[in-house]
Amino acid sequence: MKSINELKSEILRLTGEYSRLVHSENRPGYDKKRRMWKEKETIPYAARVFQEEEVQVAVSSILDFWLTLGPEGKKMETELAAFLGVKNSLLVNSGSSANLIAISTLTSHNIEKDRRILHGDEVITVAAGFPTTVAPIIQIGAIPVFIDANPKTGNAFCDQLEEAYSKGKTKAVMMAHGLGNPFDIKQTLLFCKKYNLWLIEDNCDALGSSYSMPRKLAESLGINENSPGLDEGPERIARWTGTWGDISTQSFYPPHHITMGEGGAVNIIKNKRLKVIAESYRDWGRDCWCPAGVDNSCKKRFNWSLGELPHGYDHKYTYSHLGFNLKPSDPQAAIGRVQLKRLPEFIQARKRNWELLRIGLDSLSDILEFSLPTHSESWDSKSGFRWDKSSCRSTCSWFGFKILVKDNAPFSRTDLARELDRNKIGNRMLFGGNLTRQPAFVNLMKDNPHAVRVVGSLSGSDTIMNKVLFIGTYPGLNEDMIKSEIEIIKNFANFSKSIKS
């Protein structure tokens, strides 16, 4: 008879064999064992990219049958925090949940009174983007104040931050590094420091993007160290996005840089106190911090006097916040840990794929406009990006390849989207476009015109809504797929030009 260990290794060996056979088209584009892509087959804008190891660890974790967030989760939290160089990472079941926890954390009675976000306080955010960067602001009873986005970068026009500020009301800035392009961190941090505001970086689309600034400037903002693995010499500080503010969030939904199926994380960048609060919100609102399956780690489980509960009331059932339960499961974390190991090569692949598309489509620059990093002014195929005078730089772990169809193009953005769709090329609009025009926000404002505040005309966000789409840069793409995308877009553009002239 086989021992338990022998049985398990046999199951995992067979699992690996099965996965190699069945999942060969899910392997990275640069993996020789990947099934060849054939002309005219679908080219997704994103998908999960994995090898047999992810399937094996998932099966192994299922065999162990711990199920709820447990040993794998704990390890992934440690590994993610170490990769980023932040104090703590807490796993959650989605990027949306991460955003909800991040902002809820700042409503806690454990936050000092003048910084705590209360009903009716304001949080500055961006009008163009993903809805669940903004929805949690409203869900906690605060008011989102929308600034505009720049169609060139997809990111906030940070010059509008001052105009958005309202003394005594503004408590935080919460916005995303759009499509993997870091927003203007320098200007945002200077603004937050000036008014003592929180910064929540929605890093859901930007894991592996980085930003750097002169060391003196960073130190004046309280930032002294490079992130692990980043170094731009003694005169500069370079850090991953998601490590500059107070709290940041990740999504591990399949199109994102790594996946756990459903999943995400809340990163606590330096303030340990925020970790305890965020964890409480994630875990039912409880005061107790014992991990699942552990009792009495505080050693005084029956010795607390909290709220108006009788002395000694079980700490495990004592609630200091009106919380949620937003944990993922342990098999998901097991998958996430393997994906995290692959992250450096995934980041490289995203950068490479973006560059191939950029080079291949350059000849259409008269009618199409492509993304620029926030601090760059132009791009050319020989020297790459040319930077502005801000002395800040970024590298983009691109979530997608953004295309803006210019006014002089002989077709519209939606024509292009239809053509891509007809050719089975996955494409997406830039999430919700101008969010204030989405039915959810229109209805909200009908019910209560003061539920949001808008700065300026939001014309940049309208341009993003009307003229922008993106195609994929994900690591599952290979050169043949990218070549085919380029050819189809060029043929369409040239044909459209020819019938117009």
Ligand X SMILES: Cc1ncc(COP(=O)(O)O)c(C=O)c1O
The residue within the footprint of ligand X, chosen from 15, 132, 181, 329 (CB under 6 A), is: 132
- d(Cα 208, Cα 201) in Å, to the nearest integer? 14
To ligand X, the closest distance from the beta carbon of 245 in angstroms equals 15
To ligand X, the closest distance from the beta carbon of 287 in angstroms equals 27
To ligand X, the closest distance from the beta carbon of 30 in angstroms equals 24
Estimate the share of the chain in helix, then strand, then coil, as percent rounded to the nearest 5: 40, 20, 45
Q: Hey, is 14 helix, strand or coil?
A: helix
Q: Which is nearer to ligand X, 46 or 416 (CB)?
A: 46
Q: Which is nearer to ligand X, 210 or 259 (CB)?
A: 259
Neighbour count for residue 214 (Cβ, 10 Å): 16
Amino acid at 68: T
Contacts with ligand X in 62-121 (CB under 6 A)?
Answer: 94-96, 99
Q: Which residue is nearest to ligand X (CB)?
A: 95
Q: Which is nearer to ligand X, 135 or 349 (CB)?
A: 135
Contacts with ligand X in 191-230 (CB under 6 A)?
Answer: 202, 204-205
Measure the N-to-C terminal CA separation of the chain; round to a whole number of Å.
79
- d(Cα 132, Cα 173) in Å, to the nearest integer? 15
DSSP string of 238-266?
EEETTSSSSEEEEE-STTSSS--SS-EEE
Q: Which is nearer to ligand X, 29 or 263 (CB)?
A: 263
Do the Cβ atoms of 449 and 141 come closer than 8 Å? no
The residue within the footprint of ligand X, chosen from 108, 133, 241, 484 (CB under 6 A), is: 133
The residue within the footprint of ligand X, chosen from 145, 147, 176, 247 (CB under 6 A), is: 176
Considering only the stretches 105-113, 130-138, 158-166, 364-372, report the one whose residues sit in contact with ligand X under the rule CB under 6 A: 130-138
Q: Which is nearer to ligand X, 19 or 400 (CB)?
A: 400
H or E segment at 343? helix 330-360
- d(Cα 121, Cα 144) in Å, to the nearest integer? 9
Binding-residue total with ligand X (CB under 6 A): 16
Tell me the two tokens of residue 394.
């970024």
Neighbour count for residue 190 (Cβ, 10 Å): 15
CA of residue 59 relative to chain centroid, distance:
27
To ligand X, the closest distance from the beta carbon of 436 in angstroms equals 17
Q: Which is nearer to ligand X, 129 or 476 (CB)?
A: 129
To ligand X, the closest distance from the beta carbon of 365 in angstroms equals 27
In the shown chain, the binding pattern of residues 437 to 476 toward ligand X, with x for contact by CB under 6 A and - for none, equals ----------------------------------------
Tell me which residues are annotated as active site. Answer: 256
The residue within the footprint of ligand X, chosen from 264, 331, 373, 475 (CB under 6 A), is: 264
Q: Hey, is 493 helix, strand or coil?
A: helix
Considering only the stretches 125-133, 163-171, 265-273, 287-295, report the one whose residues sit in contact with ligand X under the rule CB under 6 A: 125-133
To ligand X, the closest distance from the beta carbon of 426 in angstroms equals 14
Q: Which is nearer to ligand X, 242 or 419 (CB)?
A: 242
H or E segment at 403? strand 400-405
- d(Cα 357, Cα 88) in Å, to the nearest integer? 36
Contacts with ligand X in 404-433 (CB under 6 A)?
Answer: 431
Max intra-chain CA distance, the chain? 84
Q: Which is nearer to ligand X, 96 or 395 (CB)?
A: 96
Residues 6+ apart with CB under 8 A from 254: 46, 47, 48, 261
Does residue 329 bind ligand X (CB under 6 A)? no
To ligand X, the closest distance from the beta carbon of 147 in angstroms equals 16
To ligand X, the closest distance from the beta carbon of 205 in angstroms equals 5
| Of 52, 44, 62, 45, residue with least CA distance to 22 | 52
- d(Cα 1, Cα 327) in Å, to the nearest integer? 39
CA angle in degrees (0–180, nearest 5) for 373-377-378: 90
Q: Which is nearer to ligand X, 211 or 431 (CB)?
A: 431
Considering only the stretches 49-57, 124-132, 317-325, 378-386, report the one whose residues sit in contact with ligand X under the rule CB under 6 A: 124-132
β-pair type (247-251, 376-380): unpaired
What distances in angstroms separate CA 391 from CA 181, 186, 341, 349, 470, one per listed residue? 17, 10, 32, 27, 28
Q: Hey, is 367 helix, strand or coil?
A: coil
To ligand X, the closest distance from the beta carbon of 104 in angstroms equals 15
In the shown chain, the binding pattern of residues 224 to 263 toward ligand X, with x for contact by CB under 6 A and - for none, equals ---------------------------x-x----------
Q: Hey, is 305 helix, strand or coil?
A: coil
Binding residues for ligand X, rule: CB under 6 A, are 94-96, 99, 129-130, 132-133, 176, 202, 204-205, 251, 253, 264, 431
